[in-house]
Structure 1
Amino acid sequence: MDAEQQMVAAAEKPKVLAQVRHARILETLARKGAVSVSDVASQLAVSEMTVRRDLIELEKDGRLVRTHGGAVRSGKAFEPIANEAVDREEPTFESRLTRNAASKRTIAMAAAGVAAGARTLALDVGTTTYLLSGLLLNQPHTKIFTNSVRNAMQLGAGFGEVYLPGGRMRGEEMAISSQSAVTQFEELWFDIAFLGVSGITEQGIYDYSFEDTDMKRVYLRRATQKVVLCDSTKFKRMSLVHIAPLQQFDMLITDAMPPADLADALTAAGVEVRIAPEEQPLL
């Protein structure tokens, strides 16, 4: 790999926002009482200089005391650092599937309406995209590309053409997110890409996994219309990886109007917010 390629690869690495880095540092301090610069840099895949700057900022706020090569906790280490909540662990797929399930179904139904008539669709991993895949079975002239083995298995019972990339499958999530998968889908162009996320704030959209984020960014780069599916429990929530700013997708399908500051940021970014209608009870 030449110098130019290394620069491009470095630029495309998932970005860990300062708020998330600070939260991870304080979490480690709460558990261990101390952190080292080298350990934090390795865990978060950032430079030691970045970690040192983080420690300086946190020390100014009184949240830790810097030491040679690291820091120890102070009395304020347990206080929240931002208005946004930070999700540090990825729940299991099954637990996420049952959480806010009715809202996710209505979002999936609204997304199926957006997908109608498209010839090529990209379908991300996630619980709401999985529910959407079950609504796309009767589209005989549609090519559907997904890195979710769950989605592909469900779509296999339908009439469309279903494509999976090659590569290693990520465990319980059943997501194929290797570099070979990214390279394969990078060569394609999709009419619409539907993305799942773990959270959304004024700064953008988030995910738990470095590996899955690489493919999400492919979908954002290689689709004419980029649609994020996100239920309202994920508003104002961050997790480890910042996928992209709000300006990089076109539509948010959700179940409730976002809070005013987030709604304003979405409007400023040119994102259409579509509220899915409530699920009607069976008579």
Structure 2
Amino acid sequence: MYQEERMLKIVDYLQLHKRISVDDICEFFNVSRDTARRDLVKLEEHQKIIRTRGGALLPTLDHELTRNYKERLLTVSAEKQIIGQIAANMVRDGNRIILDSSTTVQACAERLHVQECSVITNSINQADVLSEKDGVSIHLLGGRLQKEHRFVYGSSAIATLSRYFVDKAFVGVGGISLHGLSINHEEDGMLKHQMMKQADQVIILADHSKFGKNLSYRFADLYEVDIVITDRLPDPAMLDVFRRHDVEIIVP
């Protein structure tokens, strides 16, 4: 196995288990302790891990989550674009849908091609993208504006949202684990949960890096989810959790 492959698997392991030892790496990949240490040094150089005595752990603060919305849009990955395309293909003519304020969900909005559709969103970016599409009716929720991340939130937004019923809600997450769905912004999480409650079908958009993560605010449980669209299947343990909660996984 090449070093790059081991490094990816080490990060995948850390996202599930939070820490790994040099002995673990030697056992999992049948390599020497010197090779294991070199892998950790390189991962630390790429700011993927924090090295500890005898091993490593994930950084406590994910750089992706500290950047504002415009900065994150500049680096939307090919994986997120593929996820967005799959999500857009699930929208049918005449559907009423909710789109939240995540960049992966914006990839869905950009690829939405229907003759007629009604969209509720708390994202000023989503509303702007959809305003260019004929046949799409847009309801932008009112409330306080979170300027850096470009979403509307607050009690008035939640109260308005609670009066609507939709066919599908497309929701992005910061983390998804056996403990549920999580995000770093409590106000965003509260609105996401209300979006899920208003939908006949809840569809989570999450690339593989989100699996095994628990961020600061848990906003929903897995039993509230119908479908997860992702770019890569999670590990067997996470797959088993999804099956137990009747969550369908869709990959390219």
Q: Displacement of 1:116 after TM fit?
A: 2.4
Q: Displacement of 1:259 after TM fit?
A: 1.1
Percent of aligned positions with the same letter in both sequences? 27
Which fold has the larger relative contact order, with Cα–Cα distance below 8 Å and residues 6 or more apart in sequence?
1
Q: SS at 1:237's partner residue?
A: coil
Match of 2:248 among 251, 263, 272: 272
| CA contact 1:198–1:239 (8 Å) conserved in 2 | yes
| CA contact 2:93–2:115 (8 Å) conserved in 1 | no
What letter corresponds to residue 70 of structure 2 in structure 1? E
Which residue does 1:158 correspond to in 2? 133
Which residue does 1:209 correspond to in 2? 185
| CA contact 1:202–1:261 (8 Å) conserved in 2 | no
| Matched ranges for 1:116-195 at <5 A | 116-136=92-112, 138-159=113-134, 160-195=136-171
TM-score normalised by structure 2 residue count = 0.73
- Cα 1:257–1:201 change in 2 (3 A) is same
Q: Provide the rounded CA distance (Å) in 2 between the counterparts of 1:170 and 1:106.
A: 27
- Cα 1:87–1:269 change in 2 (3 A) is farther
Q: Displacement of 1:172 after TM fit?
A: 1.4
Total equivalences in the alignment: 197
Q: Displacement of 1:94 after TM fit?
A: 3.5
The answer to whether 1:103 aligns with 2:79 is: yes
Q: Provide the rounded CA distance (Å) in 2 between the counterparts of 1:201 and 1:272.
A: 15
Which residue does 2:41 correspond to in 1? none
TM-align CA RMSD: 2.2
| CA contact 2:91–2:114 (8 Å) conserved in 1 | no
- Cα 1:257–1:225 change in 2 (3 A) is same
Q: Displacement of 1:167 after TM fit?
A: 1.2
- Cα 1:274–1:102 change in 2 (3 A) is same
Q: Provide the rounded CA distance (Å) in 2 between the counterparts of 1:108 and 1:208.
A: 22
| CA contact 1:85–1:237 (8 Å) conserved in 2 | no
Q: Displacement of 1:119 after TM fit?
A: 1.8
Q: SS at 2:170's partner residue?
A: strand
1:75-119, CA deviations, whole angstroms, 9 ceiling, x for partnerless residues?
xxx89xxx9875465332234334461000100010011112352
- Cα 1:259–1:95 change in 2 (3 A) is farther
1:249-280, CA deviations, whole angstroms, 9 ceiling, x for partnerless residues?
100000000111111101101000000x2xxx
The answer to whether 1:255 aligns with 2:241 is: no
Unmatched 5+ stretches in structure 2: 1-17, 19-51
Q: Displacement of 1:132 after TM fit?
A: 0.8
What letter corresponds to residue 158 of structure 1 in structure 2? K
| CA contact 2:76–2:104 (8 Å) conserved in 1 | no
- Cα 1:250–1:261 change in 2 (3 A) is same
Which residue does 2:27 correspond to in 1? none
Q: SS at 2:157's partner residue?
A: helix
Q: Provide the rounded CA distance (Å) in 2 between the counterparts of 1:119 and 1:204.
A: 27
Q: Provide the rounded CA distance (Å) in 1 between the counterparts of 2:61 and 2:236.
A: 22
Give the structure with higher Rg (CA). Answer: 1
Match of 1:90 among 66, 73, 86: 66
Unmatched 5+ stretches in structure 1: 1-22, 24-77, 278-283
| CA contact 1:216–1:243 (8 Å) conserved in 2 | yes
1:153-205, CA deviations, whole angstroms, 9 ceiling, x for partnerless residues?
11001121011111111011110011101100111001000000001111111
